Structure 1
Amino acid sequence: MTTVQETAAVRYGIWVLCPVLGAAVVWGLKLAAVWITTLRWFPFQGVFELVTDIPEPWVTIAALAVGALGGGVLALLWAAEMMSVEVSHDRVRLKKDDKIFDFGRNQIESVFTEGKQLVLLSPSGAELARESSDLSRARLEQAFTGQGYRWLDADPFADDYRMWVEHAPDLPADVNALFTARRKAISKYEHEEAAELAREIRKRGVCVKDEKKRQYYRCER
């Protein structure tokens, strides 16, 4: 079995790097608070005035604590976006966002990447999975071909996609409703919600992908 995942430096380093950077940023803003209060056009003047009124060392302690906490939240979100891929001769397992997507060898006809997305296709051309990650395309290709899976250079159904519009006539009402909800999630940068809605759409026999916040789809053959 071959496992493709982020390096240990990235997986563990974010828990140190993000809190440190967060603390440094907020501490820097604390140092600049007096100057910022002289810029009447700068937003959140009340916050910076409050900072200047807090005595040392409490203001520094508070700034470092708030920054580190914010950095920790960022690290948590970053970690949730990471994906690991386990490829063996008889199955493929994707792990992301505390979810596991497991596929048997006979379910998978071919594999390819599109941008940062890893796509698994079934023998009928259905998309079993389309998941985003920062994993190296070269490492993914090596892992899949090393276990005998068919690797494609591009999406063989790229020309079949069309841009989704409200109440698309060739889609059922429930699928159009999912696309509408997904459009709202995309506009609010709710990436996990958008990804989950895309999985629900795929369950209904429709493939979906995005280009510049526009949704494109194709119906399975």
Structure 2
Amino acid sequence: MTSNAAPRSDETVVRDPAWAALLMWVGLPVAGALVFWCLKQIADWVAGLPAAPFQGLFKLAASAPDPWATIGALVLGAIAGIVLALIGAHETLQLTVSDADVRMRRMDVPSSASRDAVGSVFLDGKRLVLLGPRGEEVASEKSELPRDLVRSAFVSHGYPWVDEDPYKDQYRLWVEDLPDLPPGANPVLKARAKALEKDSETDARELRGELVKLGVVVREQKKRQYIRVVA
């Protein structure tokens, strides 16, 4: 995770360990170059098969003269690794905690919460969750950041960290047309169920926000949605 501005002295920026950043920005390009080099080595064999997936590309690689074919394979592999690293950085949670507020950014979508709006903070699996005093969802983001560093950042700035969801016993499995929900909640949950089936994280995320506005908190396990209504 990177930040364009230097952190203030009164805030904590939670980052991945240095080895994780090194693995992403160096390891992925090296691994990509290695994979493409291996593919170049078997290009002649694949090109000679009666049929094979992407055989046209292998024939093209086999016909290219060395050393340019090998150099090209290494360069393309490294570029593929860099692209994967950029995607990883794009999906990595950026987290800044201060006495006044919490600021997060993931997939270029920012979110924030003032200290007064936060009643509890916890990690629900790989999701960082901030709840308000009434149990309403203030923020919820996927996080691969080290748990100990996340917890330490919040505790050091006086946030009420808890080890698990204080409302975990209030969730129930959502089924279509479930009664006793706020008006409009069932259609949103139905649309979100379709988004989860399609692995459309962007749509599922936006629909989660709509549910928060309706007073519904949602969690998912294996694409099944569990909900509770904020009193």
Report if TM-score (shorter chain) is over 0.5: yes
Of 3, 6, 23, the match for 2:33: 23
Question: Aligned residue for 2:204?
Answer: 194
Question: Aligned residue for 1:94?
Answer: 104
Matched residues in 1 for 2:187 and 2:29: separation?
A: 40
Letter in 2 for 1:51: A
Structure 1, unaligned stretches of length 5 or more?
Answer: none
Deviation, 1:41, is: 7.0
Letter in 1 for 2:170: D
Of 126, 133, 147, the match for 1:116: 126
CA gap 1:174/1:42 in 2 versus in 1, 3 angstroms: farther
Tell me the alpha carbon deviations over residues 82-130 of structure 1, each in whole angstroms, 9 at most, x when there is no partner.
Answer: 1122222222112222232121111011111111111111011011111
Question: Aligned residue for 2:155?
Answer: 145
**Please, what is the CA RMSD of the aligned residues?**
2.4
State the secondary structure of the residue aligned to 1:106.
Answer: helix
TM-score, structure 1 as length reference: 0.86
Please say if 1:44 is aligned against 2:54.
Answer: yes
Deviation, 1:9, is: 4.4
Tell me the alpha carbon deviations over residues 54-79 of structure 1, each in whole angstroms, 9 at most, x when there is no partner.
Answer: 33234323322332222222111100
CA gap 1:77/1:200 in 2 versus in 1, 3 angstroms: farther
Of 91, 104, 111, the match for 1:81: 91
Check conservation: 1:6, 1:84, Cα contact below 8 A.
no
Structure 2, unaligned stretches of length 5 or more?
Answer: 1-10
Identity of aligned residues (%): 45
Check conservation: 2:127, 2:142, Cα contact below 8 A.
yes
Letter in 1 for 2:160: R
Deviation, 1:13, is: 5.1
